[in-house]
Structure 1
Amino acid sequence: MGVVSALNRAARGSRQAEFATVVALGWARLWRARIRFDTEVELFVCENMRRGFARGGTCVGGAFLTGGVPSRALLQHESVHADQWARHGLSFVVRYLVEESRHRGSANRFEIEAGLHDGGYGG
């Protein structure tokens, strides 16, 4: 599969999510991530980063940035976040942060939609 095809799949066809994905991949390269495309969840997985992500990892567009090697369950969770990026575009950042300020962690509706257990929330 070509890079352009993978990028389109990761961004779920959303131009704004595609832009966010390209920025995230550049950021991941700066932090020396191992970058691969996971065809099962249709995400770029940027693993073994030194820094540059929140909590256990951060989904930006169709790229998941993390310091470790994620489990299949976590990648499934992050795949739902990529769907959310595609649905809301760049406004997803604001929507997520507002929701997080009102309902932290496992009470955040975006985390609930993505699957609390798969995301490591134990819910």
Structure 2
Amino acid sequence: MTRRIRFRDRWVRAARGVPSVRAVTALALCWGRAWGGSVSFDDETGLFVCSGMRGGFARGGTTLGGVFLTSALPSRRLLRHEAVHADQWARYGLGFAVRYLREELRNPGARNSFEIEAGLADGGYRR
């Protein structure tokens, strides 16, 4: 019982309390496991981290809802960067995916305003 409550608290925290982001977070956790990832929770950033994935993410990793999907173990700096993306998911809800992709098509990589807000250096970007 205690474990289940703890998971639920983390799940709500990772989704920043936003119901639509909870759904994305749940799907991202399933996606990460399907690609062979191991799930842990980072208390400092409030993110689930699904590392060790064989694929199923972009660049060095992707944040969907409150889950960071990646193949490698991320650094503290990268997790801080990805936590801002989780906050962006909370701010824009499901519309964040469309906003991010539109911005990426117009201003790719280090010119993407969402990446700039998250901190280019922390995300491993070069100007």
TM-score (norm 2): 0.94
**1:7 matches 2:11:** yes
2:125 aligns to what?
Answer: 121
Deviations 1:100-121 (A, max 9, x none): 0110100000000000000000
2:20 is aligned to 16
Structure 1 gap segments, 5+ residues each: none
Partner of 1:68: 72
CA shift for structure 1 position 122: 2.9
Bigger radius of gyration: 2
What amino acid is aligned across from residue 20 of structure 1 in structure 2? V
Give CA-to-partner distance per residue, 1:22-77, whole Å, 9 cap, x none: 00000011111110010000000000100110000000000000011110000000
Q: Which of the residues 54, 58, 72 maps onto 2:62?
A: 58
Answer yes or no: is 1:97 the counterpart of 2:122. no
Name the residue aligned to 1:30: 34
Q: Distance in 2 between matches of 1:29 and 1:64?
A: 12
Runs of 4+ aligned structure 1 residues displaced above 2 Å come to none
SS in 2 for 1:26: helix
Number of matched pairs: 123
Identity value in percent: 57
Partner residue of 2:89 out of 72, 85, 89: 85
Distance in 2, matches of 1:55 and 1:71, equals 15
| AA partner of residue 86 (structure 1) | A
**Normalised TM-score (structure 1):** 0.98
